[in-house]
């Protein structure tokens, strides 16, 4: 069972949830997911809902390895049309904002978004955690060393799974002390991790249950798949489905994906077997 609450709304599900990616940028690592123009944004939202998405994750800034930060005003401009279209639909759907900037998070929540999803776990903007606390919404807390521009240069861990669990214990305490009531944990696959690190985390994902919080896994079409298989993001859907299924078996409760229909199929089969 997973339950989330945001400003009087709630979502309860006995099955894992699917978070669909909406990239309002021109520079996402997966070319087919780039929807910077308004007609493409609207179509992507409609397609995600038709495919059975549970949460739509709206982002206006790429956080792929080597990407640079942008001004909050630019990020807000990129996501504003998507937020307006989404919140005015007759079919209401849960949503999150994918940002490391507290100002952007506040804008999104005040305009109808439900969750803040920060790939830096609040480390890139020290106002993020108090801002989320003041807004009273769930917080996706992700592990990442450094910043996207340099995170893949030389990531170091003594024991990557144990290091992440310790990080989350400290970060969860910080968030709770600040007043955040609902936290979702994301190990941050691909964020300051080598291919070996990523698979060690996946191999030990069940140990994150010690945190007693929902676990979000975002491995959709990432380099841990296409580099291992010697292919491309475009050709990484099958590998994504395999890893999503393994993640479900190891306790993942939210899958963040580009391909919602296929993720829901993984969940349906997993749920039937369970």
Residue 3 falls inside a structural domain: no
Catalytic residue among 9, 106, 256, 268: 256
pLDDT band, residue 133 (cuts 50/70/90): very high
- pLDDT at 207 (0 to 100): 96
Domain that holds residue 190: 12-273
pLDDT recorded at residue 38: 86
Q: Is 9 a catalytic site residue?
A: no
pLDDT at 168 over 60: yes
Q: Please list, in sequence order, all residues whose beta carbon lies within 8 angstroms of the beta carbon of residue 73, skipping any fewer than 6 positions away.
A: none
d(CA 169, CA 166): 5
Determine, yes or no, domain membership for 102.
yes
Answer yes or no: is 262 within a domain. yes
* Lowest mean pLDDT, pick from 23-27, 167-171, 193-197, 251-255: 23-27
pLDDT tens for each residue of 71-110 = 899 999 999 999 999 999 988 899 999 999 999 999 999 9
pLDDT exceeding 90 applies to what percent of the chain? Answer: 79
Is residue 118 in a domain?
yes
| pTM score | 0.93
Please answer whether residues 254 and 214 qualify as being in contact, where contact means their C-beta atoms are separated by less than 8 angstroms. yes
1 is a domain residue = no
pLDDT digits (tens, 9 = 90+) for 204-228: 999 999 999 999 999 999 999 999 9
CA–CA–CA angle 183, 188, 194 (5° rounding): 160
Question: Which residues, at least 6 apart from 110, have a Cβ–Cβ distance to it below 8 Å?
Answer: 135
pLDDT band at 145 (very low <50, low <70, confident <90, very high): confident
Closest CA to 251 of 187, 190, 199, 207: 207
Task: Count up the domains in the chain and report the number.
Answer: 1
Read off the pLDDT band of 148 (50, 70, 90): confident
pLDDT of residue 212: 97
> Under 8 Å CB-to-CB from 126, ≥6 apart: which residues?
none
Q: Structure tokens of 256?
A: 């963040």
Residues 6+ apart with CB under 8 A from 19: 53, 54, 55, 56, 57, 96, 216, 218, 254, 255, 256, 257
Residue linked to tokens 């609902």: 182
Whole-number mean pLDDT of the chain?
Answer: 92
- State the average pLDDT over residues 172-180: 98
Mean pLDDT for the stretch of residues 37-60? 93
Active site residue 43: no
Determine which one of 61, 222, 234, 268 is catalytic. Answer: 222
The sign of the CA dihedral 104, 109, 112, 115 is positive
The domain that contains 29 carries what CATH number? Answer: 3.20.20.20
pLDDT score for 118: 96
Q: Residue 191: inside a domain, yes or no?
A: yes
* Residue 130: band (very low, low, confident or very high) from pLDDT cuts 50, 70, 90: very high
Indicate if the pLDDT at residue 30 is higher than 60.
no
pLDDT tens-digit series, residues 13-26: 999 999 999 988 87
Task: Tell the burial category of 12 from Cβ atoms under 10 Å away from its Cβ (0-12, 13-18, 19+).
Answer: exposed
């Amino acid at each position: 069972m997973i339950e989330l609450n945001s400003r009087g709304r709630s979502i309860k599900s006995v099955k894992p949830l699917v978070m669909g990616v909406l990239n309002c940028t021109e520079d996402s690592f997966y070319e087919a997911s780039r929807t910077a123009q308004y007609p493409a944004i609207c179509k992507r939202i409609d397609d995600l809902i038709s495919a059975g998405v549970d949460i739509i994750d709206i982002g206006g800034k790429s956080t792929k390895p080597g990407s640079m930060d942008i001004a909050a005003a630019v990020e807000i401009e990129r996501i504003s049309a998507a937020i307006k279209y989404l919140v005015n639909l007759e079919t209401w759907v849960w949503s999150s904002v994918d940002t490391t900037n507290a100002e952007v998070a506040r804008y999104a929540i005040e305009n109808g978004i439900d969750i803040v999803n920060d790939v830096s776990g609040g480390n890139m903007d020290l106002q993020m955690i108090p801002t989320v606390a003041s807004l009273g919404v769930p917080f996706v807390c992700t592990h990442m060393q450094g910043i996207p521009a340099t995170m893949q240069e030389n990531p170091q861990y003594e024991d990557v799974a144990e290091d992440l669990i310790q990080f989350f214990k400290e970060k969860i305490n910080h968030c709770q002390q600040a007043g955040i009531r609902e936290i979702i944990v994301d190990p941050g696959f691909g964020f300051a991790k080598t291919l070996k690190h990523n698979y060690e985390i996946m191999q030990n994902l069940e140990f994150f249950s010690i945190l007693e919080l929902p676990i979000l896994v975002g491995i959709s079409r990432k380099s841990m798949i296409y580099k291992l298989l010697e292919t491309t993001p475009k050709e990484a859907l099958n590998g994504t489905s395999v890893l999503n299924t393994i993640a479900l078996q190891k306790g993942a409760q939210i899958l963040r994906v580009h391909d919602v229909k296929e993720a829901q199929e993984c969940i349906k089969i997993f749920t039937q077997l369970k």
